[in-house]
Amino acid sequence: MVRNVRSVTLVVLTSLLVLAATSVAQVDRGEILGTVTDPSGARISGAQITLMSLQTGQSIHLTTDNEGNYSAKLLKIGTYTVSANRQGFQTTVQSTVDVAVNQSVRVDLMLKLGSASEKVEVTGAAPRLQTESSS
């Protein structure tokens, strides 16, 4: 009888340890990842990515790598707006991106060429001629 009690106790303790280990392994986070390209399909490095949580209003800022890729891991579950911009391109926005538990959501963005306008203004006067001496 003592042996049966020990066996039952051992089984119960083992079950509790297994349940505790699986509950710790559950993750309540997700991920948004993607690639930023131009209209020709070329990848854009150095693009600024902003992910804004529609629930909290908090923003996360990322920059694409040399291959035009970005990844935001361990995001709180919820709905996000994802935007990308780079100098010389128009800003692109993908709204209502839902992130669920343990989910990777792919959001590829294409930046359209922007209109580059640059204004150069030169001011100044011509140097005065010195007429008092010949040097």
- Domain limits of the chain? 28-110
Bridge partners of residue 36, in order along the sequence:
109
* pTM to 2 decimal places: 0.67
Out of 3.30.2290.10, 2.40.50.140, 3.40.50.20, 2.60.40.10, the CATH code matching 28-110 is 2.60.40.10
Q: Average pLDDT for residues 116-130, to the nearest whole number?
A: 51
**d(C-alpha 28, C-alpha 20), whole Å:** 16
Task: Give residue-wise pLDDT tens across range 33-86.
Answer: 999 999 999 999 999 999 999 999 999 999 999 999 999 999 999 999 999 999
With a CB cutoff of 8 Å and minimum separation 6, the contacts of 34 are 69, 70, 82, 106, 107, 108, 109
